[in-house]
Amino acid sequence: MRVENFDKPLSELKKEKGFQVRLAIAKALDRDLFIKQAKFGNGYPAHGSINPAMGYYFDENLANVSEQAYDPEGASELLAKAGYPGGKGFPEIKLKTTPNTKRDGLVVANILKQVLGISVLVDPKDFSVGIEEFDTLNYDMRLGGSGVDYDPDDGLVDWMQTNSKFNGRKRDKSNFHLDFILRPNLMQLLTHSHWWPIQQKGASL
């Protein structure tokens, strides 16, 4: 299910089985149900790394246009296209959580089982162990969180650049190079957004 090379047009990426699997899992997650069952109604459905607490930067329409929005039929079609109709033949994958978020992981696993027919094993680890696996990119899926700095630090700069501090800082760089992220036009946009939070100007870049 790995995507070997992200450095290509999105239209080409969508033809790759690994990408289809990732998008299928995203589309299969019923965020409203997750919030109800795992968080007892305390939460807000997310479709990106910018959350409502960031105010001006949050796009309230994202849930309506995101390709990752809940779409069980579309998710099943994508998984079948990737070669796993109804989840048949799909390997069991591990979902890393902390002991405190095990319930959250079980809810996610149940949703994916119901929608896609795949098996997800929830694997709780103490934070000190889990963060080491996170830093080395040694996991299938991981359920975690982050503090909220002002955008774009937490939502963009900390995650979306080749040298971002949360992109596997202890990873084997010969195996996980991530060089596809660092593009001059993307860097220009991130630098612009860091100082001038004007969406229209950012769009023009």
pLDDT tens-digit map of 88-114: 999 999 999 999 999 999 999 999 999
Predicted TM-score (pTM) of this structure: 0.84
Q: Please give the mean pLDDT across all residues of the chain.
A: 84
Residue 87's pLDDT band (boundaries 50, 70, 90)? very high
Per-residue pLDDT, 159: 73
Residue 28's pLDDT band (boundaries 50, 70, 90)? very high
Per-residue pLDDT, 10: 83
Q: Are 1 and 22 in contact (CB under 8 A)?
A: yes
Per-residue pLDDT, 194: 62
Degrees (nearest 5) of the Cα angle 199, 201, 204?
A: 110
User: Peptide bond before 152: cis, by omega within 30 degrees of 0?
Assistant: yes
Per-residue pLDDT, 112: 98
Per-residue pLDDT, 193: 64
Per-residue model confidence as pLDDT tens digits over 188-205? 666 666 666 555 555 555
Task: Give the separation between CA 180 and CA 99, rounded to whole angstroms.
Answer: 34
Q: Are 21 and 82 in contact (CB under 8 A)?
A: yes
Q: Which residue(s) pair with 142 in the sheet?
A: 96
The residue extents of the domains of the chain are 149-205
Per-residue pLDDT, 51: 77
- Tokens found for residue 103: 């319930």
